[in-house]
Amino acid sequence: MQHFKTLSAYLEYLELPRPEHPMLSVFSAAGDDFLPCPKESSPPITNDCYSISLKKIVKGNVNYGRTQYDFTNGALIFIAPRQVLQWDSSVVYDQKGFSINFHEDFLKGTELAHQIKKYGFFSYSANEALHLSPKEEKQIESIVENIHIEYQNNQDEFSKDIIISQLGTLLKYANRFYERQFLNRKELSNDLLEQFNQQLGAYVDSGQLQENGIPSIDQIADKLSVSQRYLSDTLKKETGKTSTEHLQLYLIGEAKNMLLNPTKTISEVAYDLGFEYPPYFSRLFKKKEGISPTEYRETYKMN
């Protein structure tokens, strides 16, 4: 897989204009301007840059998770260094919006270098973009215009600090808007939890639990066509519990049924549920239920 260590090399590969700054590039389509077109397709690649871009889809099917959405409003996309990128020519973008690319070293020695790692949306898949309302889009574009003006000015001792400050503001607004998106998508969140449990049920019913052990959250997220971080964030926002906690609760629910079978030992129940170490299963059960598996069996055993 090809990897680009510098911003200039990455932009050259994309067939985009060279940057005005060795570690920062800003493309903004204001007024009658249009964004430069990158190459139509690419095999998987990686680079050492952050990217923030506002795109509009005019042709092609675009899914958000498993649901298709109207992208006539802006879709704000965040990409972190060393994320794998790949695209083809099936999707056509309106050449309006903006694209900001900056090398991770551009943030060195700044507070934003630490803050940016806390923004979970840089871990999301591209199809989990932030969908902006028209009002939100104007707010973001206003900040980008300030960055673009400073980017085009003659560089001086204040330039980098001003741009870093504006980038920090942009990310804070994006964080606010993501919170709004999570709150406004309760129906999708509930559907996601239902699909999460359905995937677990299918995994158990197919015998993979005993054969392969407890599935990872990454495995389940992949089946749902979302990223692990987005899955956990969405479930946490809607239910107050992370994806790991929901996985544990599902397993405890299965355990309760198994424990009522008097022919199975506690260890056998643990192994059947994919636990490699029965003592860990017992500790988890007691932590979630307040009593041990043995105490549960004694309390609820069948007559």
Summarised one tens digit per residue, pLDDT across range 44-83 is 889 999 999 887 654 554 433 334 444 445 678 888 898 8
> Is 0.85 topped by the overall pTM?
no
pLDDT of residue 188 exceeding 60 = no
The model's pLDDT over 200-217, given as tens digits with 9 standing for 90+, comes to 989 988 888 888 889 999
Mean pLDDT of all residues in 274-299: 90
Domain ranges across the chain = 2-184, 187-300
At residue 302, the pLDDT reads 47
Name the CATH architecture for the domain at 187-300: Orthogonal Bundle (1.10)
Q: How far apart are CA 69 and CA 50, in angstroms?
A: 25
pLDDT grade for 40, boundaries at 50, 70 and 90: confident
Mean pLDDT of all residues in 122-149: 83
What percentage of residues in the chain have a pLDDT greater than 90? 39
Same fold for the domain at 2-184 and the one at 187-300? no
At residue 30, the pLDDT reads 65
Say which CATH class 2-184 falls into.
mainly beta
Mean pLDDT of all residues in 119-136: 77
